[in-house]
Structure 1
């Protein structure tokens, strides 16, 4: 799984994803509209995929979705219209819904409970390392051709799909088929987890919007040449490798306290991005957002997995992810429309969303503290 996610980090078009789409005829609002449609599809597919994984096996699910992941990269390379880019995103939605919960459930079921944060930290770091190498190489590839960044992405995804065939299946208790209604009840039997899920979903959506779509416009605004985008992204991914050390942060501060501090950093960074046109500040704040979310990831997975005490782990994780996808789909439309009006307005919306996420995390912390006392 480490090798697979490392290869799937090789998205050579990552540093210029927005520019690539715009060069193929998409507007910023169309990009965000496609993203919102994608999230809606993920919402619809999350739980059925989770049920399928729990019922028929995690490996079978991963083999199928990773093959489809490979196919989606071919479609992306061939896309030159709204319809084709939408088709690519539909395929990607099926993939992300299938992967969501399934990959983490397979890993969680293969390790000891006290290894969770360190293993998921390394898992996240391997994906980041792949993206890091791709970002460095992207700076050279984009000098030759923007199209090549999409073309060269196809090959590592083909290898990742092949390697999925060699995964070892874990034993899942299938004596009772998990039912959707029961899974929803189990997922949210602890009401505080709803608050936690919404909080992290808001922060992740802000991270996605800032680091994937708005960052490139911010770099251009601050006078950074396109050829340096790959180098900057490589540096950001290098910082994200610190996610392997998230367990040290939780040991010193506690899980909730650590997330609160990290979410506060996201809030500050978004506010700075509203006003700055400095290249140094722009890069520093985007690095801060990326670092914070990278550190939050393993802690979030640890908290969510520890709330699950039933065999239908992938289904419940998919329900949590579905909740996040719902928030993301709404957030994407609002941020996209705002960014079409002005880049600053896009960052204002991101700031508001991150403030709400921080408030909800503080509420979650107080409620869980009272419950434990």
Structure 2
């Protein structure tokens, strides 16, 4: 089987894993199974910590034993976590589900991107990353639409059918073709870490993008609903707006065209500016049209930035320990996101406007880090010349 088949398999796998049919009622489902909101946040916090702990060891495992083995193990753990979620009716069971989920996601993180990058020509990688993100979004979009049909039967049915899609995704992982088994020299864990930490330029970019990405996550998942209410939008339209935002995120599929036309650094700079301006508008506006347009531009811009940053990260790696280095970069992103999430969450308790002000500050910090990254990039280019 040609390595390019890996790309299509990964598209299908991530598409199926987007079928989280219980997504629109995830909180209500847990509450219905005896889990309080405070316990949900506690489990979520522990999940962040576990992700950070397992991220780098999983990357090293992938480089040493193969991307396919790592993805097979991780996706089967992912599948098992959905079975436990379906059966869970206590704190202990939901906690176990989240532990397995964290272990699984840490294993997939970095390894999936490393596999995709190693399965294509370098000049195609950004296009492939954009499509990969789009397939994930498309799966979630279709899953959200199908939810309205499944939930008519029962809440439990939404969790049950999620298990089926994840079982198929896990089975498909078995057909992936290994791409790094022929390495004569296997990477040493300590050396991989030292290599990653020496790449300060990329770490700066990763932290910068993590700041922007977490702002977008908070705006697109939490603050949007408060802002809709503030703008006088009727709750009956929230579902339609959620679908619209998912469709907008499909713009990641065209990210490569923007970076070809403007260059990667210039594209990121413009998209950062759009997100910052939109957050500033959301601080002051209570107009429904401005609110919806601002959130659309925020979600769309972030979707386009993601594959560009992934491509820059991968092109910066010239050693055999690709998955380990990507996992180290992801760890920095996770740490940044966890801190930003807490800060914005605290200001959101004061008011929606206060939370958006914090988002603007985070965007400015991200832009400053992007400027530092660009300066270091230019310096390196001049030194080479």
TM-score (norm 2): 0.87
Structure 2 CA distance, aligned partners of 1:47 and 1:371? Answer: 27
Deviation at 1:113, TM superposition (A): 1.0
Partner residue in 2 for 1:43: 52
Partner residue in 2 for 1:10: 19
Deviation at 1:215, TM superposition (A): 3.0
The answer on 1:264 being equivalent to 2:273 is yes
Partner residue in 1 for 2:373: 364
Structure 2 CA distance, aligned partners of 1:175 and 1:353? Answer: 44
The answer on 1:337 being equivalent to 2:346 is yes
Alignment of 1:125-164 (within 5 A): 125-141=134-150, 148-164=157-173
Q: Please identify the structure whose Cα radius of gyration is greater.
A: 2
Structure 2 CA distance, aligned partners of 1:344 and 1:283? Answer: 16
> Cα gap change, 1:194/1:272 in structure 2, threshold over 3 Å: closer, same or farther?
same
> Once superposed, what is the RMSD of the aligned Cα atoms?
2.5
Alignment of 1:272-311 (within 5 A): 272-311=281-320
Given that residues 67 and 180 in structure 2 are in contact (C-alpha distance below 8 angstroms), is that contact kept between their aligned partners in structure 1?
no
Higher mean displacement: 151-160 or 51-60: 151-160
Structure 1 CA distance, aligned partners of 2:367 and 2:140? Answer: 28
Higher mean displacement: 55-64 or 348-357: 348-357
Given that residues 139 and 227 in structure 1 are in contact (C-alpha distance below 8 angstroms), is that contact kept between their aligned partners in structure 2?
no
Given that residues 63 and 180 in structure 2 are in contact (C-alpha distance below 8 angstroms), is that contact kept between their aligned partners in structure 1?
no
Structure 2 CA distance, aligned partners of 1:311 and 1:78? Answer: 41
Could you list the per-position Cα deviations for residues 34-58 of structure 1 after superposition, in whole angstroms to 9, with x for gaps in the alignment? 4332222111111110111111111
SS at 1:242's partner residue? helix
Partner residue in 1 for 2:118: 109
Unmatched tracts of structure 2, length 5 or more: 1-9
The answer on 1:70 being equivalent to 2:41 is no
Unmatched tracts of structure 1, length 5 or more: none
Partner residue in 1 for 2:206: 197
Higher mean displacement: 354-363 or 83-92: 83-92
Partner residue in 2 for 1:93: 102
Structure 2 CA distance, aligned partners of 1:279 and 1:71? Answer: 42
Partner residue in 2 for 1:188: 197
Structure 2 CA distance, aligned partners of 1:118 and 1:104? Answer: 12
Structure 2 CA distance, aligned partners of 1:242 and 1:315? Answer: 29
Could you list the per-position Cα deviations for residues 153-206 of structure 1 after superposition, in whole angstroms to 9, with x for gaps in the alignment? 222112111111111111345433322221122123332112111101111222
Structure 2 CA distance, aligned partners of 1:294 and 1:13? Answer: 23
> Cα gap change, 1:309/1:284 in structure 2, threshold over 3 Å: closer, same or farther?
same
Given that residues 138 and 230 in structure 1 are in contact (C-alpha distance below 8 angstroms), is that contact kept between their aligned partners in structure 2?
no
The answer on 1:312 being equivalent to 2:321 is yes
Q: Which has the higher contact order (CA 8 A, sep 6+)?
A: 1
> Cα gap change, 1:211/1:31 in structure 2, threshold over 3 Å: closer, same or farther?
farther
Match of 1:244 among 234, 249, 253: 253
Deviation at 1:332, TM superposition (A): 2.4
Higher mean displacement: 106-115 or 280-289: 280-289
Structure 1 CA distance, aligned partners of 2:284 and 2:30? Answer: 27
